[in-house]
Amino acid sequence: MKLELRGITKVFGPLVANDHLDVVIEPGTNHALLGENGSGKYTLINFL
């Protein structure tokens, strides 16, 4: 089963954590989520 997130946007007041984010994860693949502190990684995981 494929996982798709399309057009994800999350805003905290004036701060935009994720802006029109698209993610597609195909079956049998491995992915890593990298970025600086405050870049929206945890926010993206909460959508999942």
Quick: pLDDT tens for 20-46.
989 999 999 999 999 999 888 888 888
What is the amino acid identity at position 24?
A: V
Position 17 confidence tier, pLDDT thresholds 50, 70, 90: confident
pLDDT at 48: 82
Chain-centre distance of CA 41, in angstroms?
6
CB 23, CB 40: distance < 8 Å: no
CA distance 11 to 18: 7
CB 1, CB 24: distance < 8 Å: no
CA distance 2 to 40: 22
pLDDT at 27: 95
pTM value is 0.65
Read off the pLDDT of residues 1-15 as tens digits, 9 standing for 90 and up: 899 999 999 998 998
Domain residue ranges in the chain: 3-47
